[in-house]
Amino acid sequence: MPSLIFEARVPNVLPLTGSAAQICERLSDAPPGAVQTLYGPEAPRNVFLLVDATLRAEVAGIFDLDSIDHPARCLFGGDAAEDYGDAAPWIADLSIPDPEGDLAFHRDFFARHWAADNSVLIQTDATMGEVRRHLRRFTKLPVRDDGRRLFFRFWDPRILPDFLRIIDHDAGRARRMMMTDDDVPLTYLVRTGDDVVQFRPDIPACVAVPVAPMYLNLADFDPISRAREAERRQRIANRITEDFRTELAGRKPEEIERLVTAALQRFGAFGFTRHAHLHFFAVWTVLYGLGFEEYDTTGKLQKICRSDAPEDERFRAFRKWFDTFTLEA
């Protein structure tokens, strides 16, 4: 699969253009390269701070985001925000619509918190409310391997960079992390040590990916599990190549492996975990192409995929309905 996430180091110094020069003068502790990247004329309209309340309190001495006179919201809602707000993820507005406006919050952030490596910055044209709604859905996610739902600390700068690198070639999950459902791009800036790293989406490639449920794999956080998952994909690809030698004559091995990987990611996102089921989906994807279920103009196959029914029941229904179609390999 091609890369859907571009990673680049942000230089400490960049030529300042537009209002970035004025902003840099007012934010004396902010590196010029970061200011130009965040607030230069070609940057997205908004900048948001994503931070763990506990990590922020370690620097500030107290938790302050629930009492400051500045736009900030907890990613948790309802009772969870009330009960756990001082240990929850928060989003705060770091946009600068007016370079001559009040920058007290921004100055404090770059003076005390930026060097602490406790935050993630998000660049986007989406509003804070839209970004909050989008990210709230990822605070607790299903683990594809065993069906558990676990808290996912994507807002932690120690976790997000490696996770984005892992899902770089996972089209469905990369699309969810890097764009809202309305196709508004999200770019992440993370400071680790002396480096500032920017992760931005391949916009045309992400837009072309259908929105699918977000999930986690145990392999996302375990190199041994990742190696085993890669071996499983290779075994499935080899078996398909052997079983359909005539139909796949002339097809390159790397193309088959790419389609197998895409199939496991795509149908894994719908909650299919059994090896036999994923093997069938991989076969159909290799023979008929990625997104073959969309050939069903009634939408029933996609509805079955998104159903809350047990996996075995969904697979039987999918296979029964799929067998009513005549597709050409």
Q: Identify which has the larger pLDDT, 304 or 271.
A: 304
Q: How confident is the model at residue 84 (pLDDT cuts 50, 70, 90)?
A: low
> Would you state the structure tokens that stand for residue 112, as one six-digit string?
């005390």
* Lowest-pLDDT choice from 16-25, 109-118, 307-316: 109-118
13-44 residue pLDDT tens: 899 999 999 999 999 999 999 999 999 999 99
Helix axes 253-269, 171-178, angle to 10 degrees: 50
Residue-by-residue DSSP string for 75-143 = SS-HHHHHHHGGGSEEEEE---S-TTS--HHHHHIIIIIGGGT-EEEEEESS-HHHHHHHHHTTSEEEB
Q: pLDDT tens digits for 203-217?
A: 999 998 888 889 998
177-191 average pLDDT score = 96
Mean pLDDT of 307-315: 92
pLDDT of residue 68: 79
- pLDDT at res. 245: 92
pLDDT, mean of residues 157-174: 92
| Nearest-angstrom CA–CA distance, 109 and 38 | 14
What is residue 329's predicted lDDT score, i.e. its pLDDT?
47
Report the SS3 class of residue 138.
Answer: coil
Cα separation of the two ends of the chain: 21
Q: Specify which residues 122 forms β-bridges with.
A: 48, 188
C-beta separation of 88 from 145 below 8 A: no
Contacts of residue 283, defined as CB under 8 A and 6 or more positions apart, other chains included, come to 240, 243, 244
pLDDT in the model for residue 273: 85
State the chain's mean pLDDT as an integer. Answer: 89
Predicted local confidence at residue 212, as pLDDT: 85
Average confidence (pLDDT) over 262-270: 86
CA atoms within 13 A on the CB side of 43: 28
The pair of structure tokens assigned to 293 is 């279920």
Please tell me which residue, 219 or 34, carries the higher pLDDT value: 34
**Residue 119 and residue 114: Cα distance in Å, rounded?**
7
Query: How confident is the model over 70-97, as a mean pLDDT?
Result: 86
- Whether 118 has a pLDDT exceeding 80, the answer reads yes
- How far is it, in rounded angstroms, from Cα 216 to Cα 226? 12
Which of the pair, 62 or 190, is modelled with greater confidence?
A: 190
pLDDT in the model for residue 125: 98
Contact 237, 43 (CB under 8 A): no
* Residue 1 confidence (pLDDT): 61
- State the average pLDDT over residues 124-143: 95
Q: What is the mean pLDDT of residues 91-104?
A: 95
- Given a cut of 80, is residue 180 above it in pLDDT? yes
